[in-house]
Amino acid sequence: SQQGEEDPQALSIQEGENATMNCSYKTSINNLQWYRQNSGRGLVHLILIRSNEREKHSGRLRVTLDTSKKSSSLLITASRAADTASYFCATEYNTDKLIFGTGTRLQVFP
Amino acid sequence: EPEVTQTPSHQVTQMGQEVILRCVPISNHLYFYWYRQILGQKVEFLVSFYNNEISEKSEIFDDQFSVERPDGSNFTLKIRSTKLEDSAMYFCASSPDRAIQETQYFGPGTRLLVL
């Protein structure tokens, strides 16, 4: 079974709008992390939320975690063209490895 | 700000050849990882390494793969006899402590193409 599934798979918005991406997972977690990947490039860590946290902010990013629903959301407020990228959630539970989701491709039009 | 570096950025090789991908983790980190991403697919865990030994590996990490920390700074992934399906982006990552509660910092990746 797939641990992380993001939706939508693709999202297109205008600059200044908010972008919301969701991640669902199947097993227990210790933490959930969001990463950004520009096309063909490396993974940039955005934010980590622990299983006992419900919401976290970092600049224009807001992440929520609902462990009862096994889901998380990433909100990017006042989006910019430079936010265009793929966004992945990744979960960790009592192992060394991160399990990545399928990703949401975000396109922000100027 | 310290970052993980990887070389080469691109590698083209013939099927059956050996390749070595190199990584320099962040200097005070203790845990090291390799992941790969086949084009258009998820990022997949390959192996984690701590205290000079493998701490966890995935099903993908078979006998064709090996990792090494030959000195105090480099961390390498070797593929002994490459297959077409090994074509992927390979990411190295490091973290100060175990994955639990800690961020893994990723390098920019090496794009491997096996012909």
pLDDT at A85 over 60: yes
Q: Pick from B39, B57, B100 the residue to mutate for testing the A interface (most A CBs within 10 Å).
A: B100
Which residues touch A103 (CB under 8 Å, ≥6 apart)?
Answer: A6, A9, A37, A86, A87, A88, B42
DSSP state of B75: E
Question: Is B48 in Cβ contact with A97 (below 8 Å)?
Answer: yes
Report the 3 state secondary structure along chain A: CCCEEEECCEEEEECCCCEEEEEECCCCCCEEEEEEECCCCCEEEEEEEECCCCEEEECCEEEEEECCCCEEEEEECCCCHHHCEEEEEEEECCCCCCEEECCEEEEEEC
d(CA A65, CA A70): 8
**In this model, does residue B10 exceed pLDDT 80?**
yes
As a whole number, the mean pLDDT across chain A is: 91
| pLDDT score recorded for residue A55 | 97
- What are the backbone angles phi and psi of residue B87, rounded to the nearest 5°? -60, 120
pLDDT > 60? residue A40: yes
Count of pairs with CB atoms under 8 A, one residue in A, one in B: 62
Segment A87-95 shows an average pLDDT of 90
Task: Tell me the nearest-neighbour CA distance from A51 into chain B, angstroms.
Answer: 9
More confident residue, B71 or A46: A46
Q: Supply the pLDDT for residue A39.
A: 81
Does the pLDDT at position A1 exceed 50? no
B43 in the Ramachandran plot: left (φ > 0), alpha (ψ -120 to 50) or beta? beta
In whole numbers, what is the pLDDT of chain B averaged over residues? Answer: 93
pLDDT score of B14:
97
Q: What percent of chain B has pLDDT over 70?
A: 97
CA-based torsion, A34, A90, B41, A2: positive or negative: negative
**Chain B residues touching residue A33 (CB < 8 angstroms):** 103-104
User: A108 pairs with which residues across the strands?
Assistant: A13
Per-residue pLDDT tens digits for A60-70: 999 999 999 99
Confidence check: pLDDT of A3 > 70: no
Section A80-104 average pLDDT: 91
Distance, CA of B67 to chain centre = 8
Q: Does B45 touch chain A (CB under 8 A)?
A: yes
